[in-house]
Amino acid sequence: MRIVFIGPPGAGKGTQSTRLTRQLGIDYLSTGDMLRAACRDDTPLGRKAAEFLQSGRLVPDHLVHEIVRQRLAEPSAAKGFLLDGFPRTVPQAEEFDRWLAANGQKLDAAVSLSVSRDELLSRLALRGRQDDDRHVLEQRLVHFEELTRPLLDYYKCRNLMRVIDGHGTMDEVYARILDAVGVK
Ligand code: ADP
């Protein structure tokens, strides 16, 4: 199965999507994790991405595409994968579609977790990651609304969009996700 997960920071994408990948036995690919690891390891790509990560801006597409392409080419991704945090914009989704077509693959579902702004801010206040300070967070929420929300229509037009209510307990939300992707 090939799934993309879409949702604003704090929506619970990381938790829900790692659980789903374990159950399905597919690779979990988070572009946020990959980019943070590249920074930590001080790779050439990581050095270019660092300033964007710290300020909460989106990392330029060519860098993100490079890191995703490399990871998708690894043999373990052939059995399926869940992408968390990519695509994040319509141009990224178009690039991803070109990659899928070139590799004779199809996406099975785009899952979006929908959570109110108040709930997001209170969840993020508890999380305390370095790029979670108030100003940077506001910035990431604005980017989500402007750049990522249009993806919902992109995948709706392709009949792939599954919008999930992200409120409630982790188990409740997870059950909705399983239902939406047709896993019993
Ligand atoms: P969250 O889901 O909480 O926003 P992520 O771990 O997905 O956090 O992303 C953290 C940061 O990594 C983003 O603020 C952005 O700078 C960068 N990033 C991750 N994925 C992408 C992407 N697809 N395109 C551009 N930047 C990205």
Structure-block tokens of residue 28: 């979990």
Q: Determine the atom of ligand 1 nearest the C-alpha atom of 32.
A: 6
Distance 109 CA to ligand 1 centre (A): 20
Reported confidence tier of residue 101, pLDDT bands at 50, 70, 90: very high
Give the Cα separation of 102 and 170 in Å (integer).
Answer: 36
- What percentage of the chain has pLDDT greater than the value 90? 78
Substitution candidate for ligand 1 out of 52, 59, 95, 135 with most atoms within 8 A of CB: 59
Q: List pLDDT tens digits, range 34-93.
A: 999 999 999 999 999 999 999 888 999 999 999 999 999 999 999 999 999 999 999 999
Averaged pLDDT of the chain? 93
- Check if 148 has its Cβ closer than 6 Å to any atom of ligand 1: no
Ligand 1: residue whose CA is nearest its atom 4: 9
- For the chain, what is the radius of gyration of the CA atoms? 16
Supply the pTM of this predicted model: 0.91
Q: Is the dihedral of CA 65, 67, 69, 72 positive or negative?
A: negative
- Check if 112 has its Cβ closer than 6 Å to any atom of ligand 1: no
* Residues 151-155, mean pLDDT to the nearest whole number: 97
- Check if 46 has its Cβ closer than 6 Å to any atom of ligand 1: no
- Check if 111 has its Cβ closer than 6 Å to any atom of ligand 1: no
Structure-block tokens of residue 15: 């938790």
Q: List pLDDT tens digits, range 159-169.
A: 999 999 999 99
Has residue 128 got a pLDDT over 80? no
Ligand 1: residue whose CA is nearest its atom 19: 32
Structure-block tokens of residue 33: 């994790």
Give the Cα separation of 166 and 114 in Å (integer).
Answer: 5
Question: In the beta sheet, which residues pair with residue 82?
Answer: 3, 28
CA 47 to chain CA mean position, Å: 22
Has residue 172 got a pLDDT over 80? yes
Ligand 1: residue whose CA is nearest its atom 5: 32
Has residue 129 got a pLDDT over 80? no
